[in-house]
Structure 1
Amino acid sequence: MTVKLGILALLQAKPGKGDELGAFLEGGRSIAAGEDGTITWYAFKVSDTTYGIFDTFETEDARQAHLNGEIPKALGQVAPDLLAADPDIRTIEILAVK
């Protein structure tokens, strides 16, 4: 396995919406588990209002399939209610893995 590509998405919850955003992200695990090309998928909490997602992929096709998949669609549906700003989504290259 050669994991060399990733996505880092940082999300800012509206005041009082952090728990709901966290619950939404926890629910995303089942969607990510069904994606063959997504090698790892992490949802994380930085603070009461800052959350994120980190995913890894072996190929650009797999990364693009994820970016065009169900999790971004679901996030788009809840974003107006839960997010204080547009998600900061960055495609990244993995330099080293343990």
Structure 2
Amino acid sequence: MSVKLGLLVRLEAKPGKEDALAAFLESGRALADAEEQTVTWYAFRTGRREFGIFDTFESEEGRAAHLGGEIAKALGDIAPDLLAREPEIRTTDIIAAK
């Protein structure tokens, strides 16, 4: 396996929606498991209202499939209710991995 690419997504929950966003992210694992080209998928919390997702891919095709997949659609559906602002999505190049 040779992961070369990633996505870093930063999310900010609306006040009072932190638990709902955390639950949404927990449920996203099942969707990520179904994506054959997503090598790793992490959901994390960095502060009271700050959350994130980091995933890795072996190819640009895998990353593009993920961006057009079920997790992205579900995130778009819940965004107006749970997020204080639009998700910040950054593509990354993996320099080293263990």
The TM-score with structure 1 as length reference comes to 0.99
* C-alpha distance in 2 between matches for 1:58 and 1:29: 19
Match of residue 64 from structure 2 = 64
Aligned length, in residue pairs: 98
Write the deviation string for residues 10-53 of structure 1: whole angstroms up to 9, x where unpaired: 00000111110000000000000000000000000111100000
Write the deviation string for residues 76-96 of structure 1: whole angstroms up to 9, x where unpaired: 100000000000000100001
The offset of 1:72, in angstroms, is 0.6
Match of residue 21 from structure 2 = 21
Structure 1 runs not aligned, ≥5 long: none
Once superposed, what is the RMSD of the aligned Cα atoms?
Answer: 0.4
* C-alpha distance in 1 between matches for 2:36 and 2:78: 25
3-state SS in 2 of match to 1:95? coil
Does 2:54 match 1:54?
yes
Match of residue 73 from structure 1 = 73
Structure 2 runs not aligned, ≥5 long: none
**For residues 8-47 of structure 1, what are the structure 2 equivalents within 5 Å?**
8-47=8-47
* C-alpha distance in 2 between matches for 1:48 and 1:77: 22
Match of residue 82 from structure 1 = 82
